[in-house]
Amino acid sequence: MTRRHLTILDPLATSPVTPRGGSHPSSPLASPLNDDDDHFHDQCGVFAVYGHSEAANIAYLGLHALQHRGQESAGIVTSDGEAMYAHRAMGLVQDAFSAEGLQKLPGRIAIGHVRYSTAGDTHIRNAQPFAVDSARGSLAVCHNGNLTNADEIRAELEAEGSIFSSTSDTEVLVHLAARSKEIAIEDRILDALARVKGAYSLLFLTSDAIVAVRDPRGIRPLCLGLLPSRKDVHVIASEPVAFDLIGAEYVRDIEPGEMLVIDGAGVRSLRLREEQQPQSCIFEYVYFARPDSKLNGRSVYEVRKEFGRTLAKESPAEAEVVIPVPDSGVPAAIGYAGALGIPFEMGLIRSHYVGRTFIEPQESIRHFGVRLKLNTVEEILRGKRVVVLDDSIVRGTTSRKIIKMVRGAGAREVHLRISSPPTEWPCFYGIDTPTRRELIASSHSVDEIARYVTADSVGYLSLHGMLDAVTRIGDKSSDSNKAHYCHACFSGRYAIPFAPLPESTSSSSKRRLSEV
């Protein structure tokens, strides 16, 4: 087979970028805002388009709609049937691509990626999609998820002479596919996937085809769409919300363990060799997915409202107003307030114009990072018993600062309610999470957490209540089997083996919670 030509438009020889969530070491005044963003972070979003004359532009718009899934880097690879063209850059989608840059990405097929790193450090070399030339032609790949045995396979490949250009687990797939003795691209990918374990929603690009794959458990989402005005233009995305912006119609979710091949012959569906019980990530409903998305046939917005209603039954509070921590806490707070007949108000206002770093004055400002993002409305809070509703607590540092801000605005009582169970375990399936030692719920009781965050009370949604709430939402075609969700971050029940095992945290090894 003739070797294809690959054009890389991004400079790989750039200097290391600013560390994730922080400033460059030489800039002492830049404040690391992610220290005040106490959430799990989803790792990536992927998008593909086949058969459109402006494939790069369509991919750009699709990635923009998936920006919430990753803000560290963005990339697009296109093919015109003869050559591939790649551009990757650090930062947000709108900053990574210009109109002039998109014009340098010709072709009718494209894949794209937005990244928040989970495996591999923050550097342009880890930005995706990865695109390589091999003896069998050019191949590009992007990945949402995490391969739990990537380090083991990488060590084996390096011992046999393979050279890696990144620290990302995704590059392992490129090497495995390139080494396969199979001829057809789908067979080479099947060969590669037979070696790996973990969670993945993958997009591969060849000179004339797109291959989309979802892992056997379907942990990460992936769906298929179609442009209604042009039935030969297919699109694939991590969430169907990406279809709305480009006027595409949602067709269906790609099933767990399914491979779709899209080429000149149309769309073909194949099955992976491994069969497993579906276990999609429950945290997509809690925080990751956009509220206007649908996953597994369920409205994310309605599921979050149901979380709030269920939480109201399990952990009511005597209060005069319910306020959310915006934006992710809004739907659950609406459900909670409605179920208890308590007024819902926006007592915290979020600034949407804060970048990743900000110049802080030399004289330190208390709770500076949180104050940049959130501000209180005193008229709503003064003299009242307040319920603050958030989607999760990870370390507890941000919750503590928010509660103190609400008290500072004059609230008489502050009750914190969380629309998910206590987060006690890290995720190994493609979510950027702290170690178990850093998760406050892994070693502290609810009363201890309440004392640390300075709340009058703290209440969590139970795991049973969460699973019941999810299955109550959706139409008859929605999967109502509560066993079909991964909730390892809450329960510690991991579906896929990995190494090393999570850190054990016993009650006798509680760390001291420092005053903030």
- Give the C-alpha distances (Å, rounded to integers) separating 355 from 44, 61, 133, 412: 19, 21, 36, 33
Type of residue numbered 55 = A
Q: For residue 375, how far is the Cα from the chain centroid? A: 26
Give the Cα separation of 90 and 96 in Å (integer): 7
Q: Provide the CB-side half-sphere exposure for 306 (13 A, CA).
A: 18
Give the Cα separation of 423 and 430 in Å (integer): 16
Beta bridge partner(s), residue 271: 258
Structure-block tokens of residue 45: 């979003």
Q: For residue 360, how far is the Cα from the chain centroid? A: 29
Q: How many residues does the chain have?
A: 516
Taken in order 25, 29, 34, 35, the sign of the CA dihedral is positive
User: Residue 253: in which H helix or E strand, if any?
Assistant: strand 249-253
Structure-block tokens of residue 403: 């509660």
**328 within 8 A of 287, measured Cβ to Cβ:** yes
453 closest CA partner among 441, 463, 465 = 441
Give the Cα separation of 99 and 96 in Å (integer): 10
Give the Cα separation of 354 and 373 in Å (integer): 7
Structure-block tokens of residue 435: 């170690």
Give the Cα separation of 503 and 491 in Å (integer): 14
**52 within 8 A of 60, measured Cβ to Cβ:** no
How many C-beta atoms surround the C-beta of residue 367 within 10 A?
17
Look at residue 16 and give its three-state secondary structure: coil
Give the Cα separation of 183 and 193 in Å (integer): 15
User: Residue 88: in which H helix or E strand, if any?
Assistant: strand 83-90
**450 within 8 A of 403, measured Cβ to Cβ:** no
User: Residue 402: in which H helix or E strand, if any?
Assistant: helix 397-408
Residues with catalytic roles:
44
**φ, ψ for residue 513 (rounded to 5)?**
-80, 115
Look at residue 228 and give its three-state secondary structure: coil
**307 within 8 A of 335, measured Cβ to Cβ:** yes
Structure-block tokens of residue 264: 């000149």
